[in-house]
């Protein structure tokens, strides 16, 4: 059965006008329709925060749970019923501050979850405190003189937790967002999608360099596996290797040429280069940065169940009892 985005849509979102969440939600509806998993076989699980309101606008199964625990709750849901397609939605506070532990362990275990990280680098629902992705020195209500701490870089955290999939999109870029969401679905295992998203009220302009189409043309690079890493309005820039590092260079001014431009390898087991790509400040890497196959936790759990079932002789409670040392007391 074919679905349309209307089959996944429900209710009237209550986010501020202009909030990046509106854009993302629309892309998620469309991506789900293109993926075509029935709403009844889909569970959308969020924590707490502005973006975690999202399940209420889904016509699927779902839960808007408690702060930080979305990944842990999604883990139990997926392991208990691996037939469900589970989307876990968190903001940068929910996913990386209070829920940081669950984020890294869901990645390490490689649970087959599509993990959405809506990153606006601010706490919106509590009205404007810095988040674990706010840059050092960031001035907010809880840091009037600037923060004195470094932020997490989500890709680095994901890779550090042995994550096998990381993609990035800008909320206002519907095609780019839909593309990474579909890739996340197609990847078996924990798939982290960082969605760069603007908070119009408390952190307006945080992703300005890439928020508009024109901005992205200048300041972003769309990575595609197996393709040369080119960017710029006329593909006049490319990513090349220099020593142990990579850098963005002009390939039209003579020093570097098309031949020097690296081909993106999202499937490479070693994440060294993928990490460097994810952490570039200019251009900002978008698209699927890492997409490596690995056994998923939920598959392995149920596979082990089958293996043990085949090996052990007891398959119900009565048979389990018989595996013990039993004695008989007679009359």
Residues near another protein (CB under 8 A)? 11, 38-41, 43-45, 48, 55-56, 58-66, 69, 72-81, 83-84, 101-102, 104-105, 301-302, 304-305, 307-309, 311-312, 314-318, 320-321, 324-331
Question: How many Å apart are CA 166 and CA 164, to the nearest integer?
Answer: 7
Sign of the dihedral through C-alpha 303, 308, 311, 316: negative
Tokens of 232: 């710029």
Q: Are 161 and 105 in contact (CB under 8 A)?
A: yes
Q: Return the number of the residue (14 or 127) whose C-beta is nearest another protein.
A: 14
Q: Smallest distance, Å, CB 298 to another protein? A: 10
Find where tokens 């945080």 sit. 206
* Residue whose C-alpha is closest to residue 195's, from 138, 136, 152, 154: 154
Least Å from the CB of residue 3 to another protein:
12
Secondary structure of residue 251 in the 3-state scheme: coil
Smallest gap from Cβ 115 to another protein, in A, equals 14
Q: Are 54 and 87 in contact (CB under 8 A)?
A: no
Nearest approach in angstroms of CB 300 to another protein is 11
Q: Is 257 helix (H, G, I), strand (E, B) or coil?
A: coil
SS3 at position 253:
coil
Nearer to another protein, 106 or 278 (CB): 106
Structure tokens at 67: 């702060």
* Least Å from the CB of residue 78 to another protein: 8
- Cβ nearer to another protein, comparing 71 with 171: 71
Determine how β-strand 129-130 pairs with β-strand 122-123: antiparallel
Distance of CA 157 to the CA centre of its chain: 12
CB-CB contact of 225 with 288 (8 Å): yes
Alpha-carbon gap, residue 218 to 284, rounded angstroms: 10
- Give the nearer residue to another protein in terms of CB position, either 138 or 297: 297
- Burial label for 194, CB within 10 Å (0-12, 13-18, 19+), is buried
Nearer to another protein, 233 or 325 (CB): 325
User: In this complex, which beta carbon is closest to another protein, that of residue 267 or of residue 302?
Assistant: 302
CB of 41 to another protein, least distance (A): 6
* Cα-only R_g, the chain: 22
**Pairing of β 284-291 and β 165-170:** antiparallel
Nearer to another protein, 85 or 197 (CB): 85
Q: Pull the structure tokens for residue 285.
A: 């890497």
Q: Measured from the CB of residue 66, what is the shortest distance to another protein in angstroms?
A: 5
Nearer to another protein, 190 or 278 (CB): 190
Closer to another protein by Cβ: residue 26 or 89: 89
CB of 26 to another protein, least distance (A): 18
Closest CB 303 distance from another protein, rounded Å: 10
d(CA 181, CA 192): 9
């Amino acid at each position: 059965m074919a679905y349309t985005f209307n089959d996944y849509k429900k209710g009237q979102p209550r986010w501020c006008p202009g909030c990046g969440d509106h854009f993302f939600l629309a892309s998620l509806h469309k991506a789900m329709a293109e993926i075509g998993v029935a709403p009844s076989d889909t569970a959308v699980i969020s924590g707490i925060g502005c973006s975690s309101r999202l399940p209420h606008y889904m016509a699927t199964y779902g839960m808007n749970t408690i702060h930080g625990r979305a990944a842990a709750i999604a883990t139990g849901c997926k392991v208990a019923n691996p037939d469900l397609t589970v989307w876990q939605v968190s903001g940068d506070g929910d996913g990386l501050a209070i829920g940081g532990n669950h984020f890294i362990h869901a990645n390490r275990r490689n649970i087959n979850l599509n993990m959405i990280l809506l990153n606006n680098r601010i706490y919106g629902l509590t009205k404007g405190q810095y988040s674990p992705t706010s840059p050092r020195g960031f001035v907010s209500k809880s840091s009037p003189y600037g923060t004195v701490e470094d932020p997490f870089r989500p890709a680095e955290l994901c890779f550090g937790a042995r994550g096998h999939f990381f993609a990035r999109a800008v909320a206002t870029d519907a095609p780019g967002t839909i593309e990474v969401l579909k890739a996340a679905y197609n990847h078996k295992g924990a798939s982290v999608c960082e969605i760069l998203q603007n908070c119009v009220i408390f952190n307006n302009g945080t992703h300005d360099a890439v928020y508009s189409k024109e901005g992205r043309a200048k300041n972003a690079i769309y990575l595609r596996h197996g393709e040369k890493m080119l960017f710029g309005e006329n593909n006049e820039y490319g990513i090349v290797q220099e020593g142990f590092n990579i850098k963005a260079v002009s390939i039209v001014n003579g020093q570097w040429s098309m031949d020097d431009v690296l081909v993106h390898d999202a499937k490479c087991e070693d994440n060294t280069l993928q990490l460097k790509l994810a952490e570039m400040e200019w251009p900002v890497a978008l698209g699927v940065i890492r997409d490596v196959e690995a056994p998923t936790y939920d598959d392995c759990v149920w596979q082990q169940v089958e293996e043990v079932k085949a090996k052990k002789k007891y398959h119900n409670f009565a048979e389990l009892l018989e595996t013990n040392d039993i004695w008989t007391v007679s009359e």
